[in-house]
């Protein structure tokens, strides 16, 4: 059985750089969808008792744009992955504590929490692997 499963290793390796590009773009799209619709807004951060929500909301938007640009272009990808990791850790620990929401909102907050945990896994893998061949990082390093 192990011999049959190992055939996936060759397929994965042959598609490595293409799939790193696709994965980077898909992760970036999640952040793009959030920031392009105006979230997180200062009133939302205020409801979560963030300090200085008028300052934190623009900082969150800047962080999300950094994540989007670095991941899509594959430029400073590992740094962008760390920015995403910090953003997600803050979101997981403060924004989507589903049990603190009214019953009718808990399922949605559970989905948001689950999504953020999954994306955290993705950005950790990007930090580990780097951007791949189809990136500015690879061009700058001569790969």
pLDDT tens-digit profile of 4-42? 777 888 888 999 999 999 999 999 999 999 999 987 888
Q: How confident is the model at residue 142 (pLDDT cuts 50, 70, 90)?
A: confident
d(CA 81, CA 138): 16
In this predicted structure, what is the pLDDT of residue 39?
Answer: 79
- In a domain, residue 22? The reply is yes
Range of the domain at 54: 16-133
Strands (E), the chain: none
- In a domain, residue 56? The reply is yes
- In a domain, residue 51? The reply is yes
Q: Give the residue, 70 or 43, on which the prediction is more confident.
A: 70
Q: How confident is the model at residue 67 (pLDDT cuts 50, 70, 90)?
A: very high
State how far the alpha carbon of 59 is from the alpha carbons of 6, 35, 52, 89, 134, in Å: 45, 11, 11, 15, 29
- In a domain, residue 87? The reply is yes
For the chain, what is the domain count? 1
């Amino acid at each position: 059985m192990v011999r049959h499963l190992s055939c996936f290793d060759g397929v994965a390796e042959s598609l490595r750089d293409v799939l790193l590009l696709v994965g980077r773009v898909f992760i970036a799209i999640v952040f793009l969808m959030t920031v392009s619709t105006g979230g997180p807004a200062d009133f939302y951060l205020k409801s979560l008792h963030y300090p200085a929500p008028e300052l934190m909301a623009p900082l969150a938007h800047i962080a999300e744009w950094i994540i989007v640009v670095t991941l899509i272009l594959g430029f400073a990808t590992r740094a962008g992955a760390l920015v995403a990791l910090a953003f997600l850790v803050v979101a997981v620990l403060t924004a989507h504590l589903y049990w603190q929401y009214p019953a009718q909102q808990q399922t949605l907050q559970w989905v948001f929490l689950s999504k953020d945990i999954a994306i955290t896994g993705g950005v950790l893998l990007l930090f580990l692997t780097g951007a791949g061949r189809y990136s500015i990082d690879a061009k700058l390093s001569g790969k």
